[in-house]
Amino acid sequence: MMNLFAKTLLACAVTAATASTAYAADPLQVYGKLNVSAQSNDVAGETETTIQSNASRFGVKGNFDLGNDLEAFYTIEYEVDTGDDVKENFKARNQFVGLQGGFGLVSVGRNDTVLKISQGKVDQFNDLVGDVKNVFKGENRMAQTATYMTPMFSDFQFGLTYVADGDAEQSENTGVSMAATYGDSGLKATPFYAAIAYDSEVKGYDTARATVQGKVAGLVLGGMYQQQEKLNSGVTDNGYLLSAAYDIDAVTLKAQYQDMDNKGDSMSVGADYTLAKPTKLFAYYTTNAMYDSGDVDDSYFGLGLEHKF
């Protein structure tokens, strides 16, 4: 059934992208990326080699001008796990519809919370084994959400995500995620980015997060501080993340360290080599020292290729 759905989705997207659309102001954009790496894993003293997908994805998105400074927009995105031994390897990612105008934007559907979005690009090893989500809570994509984002006010923006209690991961409680940001997370319009965010009863946690990132003479430095409380136990943990990246021609050198009370720490180093704007080669090495693994540090070394379309 899932294979049939995936084939139907792909056929519809390709047809829509190549045929003339019924509405000239409603272009459909097909997009995605394939990120695949060969990874050597040394976990609990045992070594294994994997060829794995790192959040490869396929999606369609678009918008439609409704007039009177009002626009409808939508996204339907799936993860494609090339390394899954099951052929039915499509997994839901962000899938929402919304309206935007002078008031800001409102969207409803499956979406990242504004706390997750507030990290910007501080995570230099996003989607890899060194991803912040492996140490910190709060990297949530919830199924039943409504999100509001204000317009930009002198580089400031505020957002709120409401998570319905009908969401299967909410334990019959509604959740709220709030965030305030300053600057451009891509560090192109502004040389500095900062955010504060808070989750109340989202996926079993209350979480407070502060993120900063800046660029000085080609060196990108970032940091994150987080406090998270598990609601059913009342246990509160504190943690931080530090990251850095530096470009030398087509090569980007990267490093990251993160630590969380009662969870463990993770250290990563790596490099990206840009072949062209949509294509890069990359390498990384990560060590994770998690408390639930005893005294054994798990290590991972990978070489990969990414292409965006």
Q: Of 136, 126, 145, which is closest to residue 306 (Cα–Cα)?
A: 126
The 10s digit of each residue's pLDDT in 102-118 is 999 999 999 999 999 99
Say what the pLDDT of residue 16 is: 47
How far is it, in rounded angstroms, from Cα 296 to Cα 293? Answer: 6
Q: Quote the pLDDT of residue 45.
A: 82
Residue 15: band (very low, low, confident or very high) from pLDDT cuts 50, 70, 90:
very low
Nearest to 150 by CA among 97, 103, 98, 199: 103
In angstroms, the CA 136 to CA 208 distance is 11
User: What whole-number percentage of the chain has pLDDT above 70?
Assistant: 90
pLDDT of residue 294: 60
Residues 68-82: what's their mean pLDDT? Answer: 96
Q: What is the mean pLDDT of residues 73-83?
A: 94
Amino acid at 99: L
pTM of the complete model = 0.90
Q: Predicted confidence band at 4 (pLDDT cuts at 50, 70, 90)?
A: very low
**Distance (Å, rounded) from C-alpha 249 to C-alpha 257?**
25
Q: In the CATH scheme, what is the code of domain 2-308?
A: 2.40.160.10
Amino acid at 291: Y
DSSP letters spanning 20-73: PPS-TT--EEEEEEEEEEEEEEEETTEEEEEEEESS-EEEEEEEEEEETTEEEE
| From 44-48, 222-226, 234-238, the region with the lowest mean pLDDT | 44-48
Instruction: Please tell me the least confidently modeled range out of 22-31, 155-164, 179-188, 261-270.
Output: 22-31
The DSSP bridge partners found for residue 60 are 30, 76
Please determine, for residue 171, whether its predicted confidence score (pLDDT) is greater than 90.
Answer: no
Q: Residue 9: what are its φ and ψ, rounded to 5°?
A: -60, -45
Q: Is the pLDDT assigned to residue 2 strictly greater than 80? A: no
d(CA 126, CA 273): 16
pLDDT at 11 over 60: no
Q: Per-residue confidence at 27, pLDDT binned at 50, 70, 90?
A: confident
* CA distances in angstroms from 19 to 10, 24, 31, 64, listed in the order given: 14, 12, 16, 17
Q: Are 56 and 79 in contact (CB under 8 A)?
A: yes
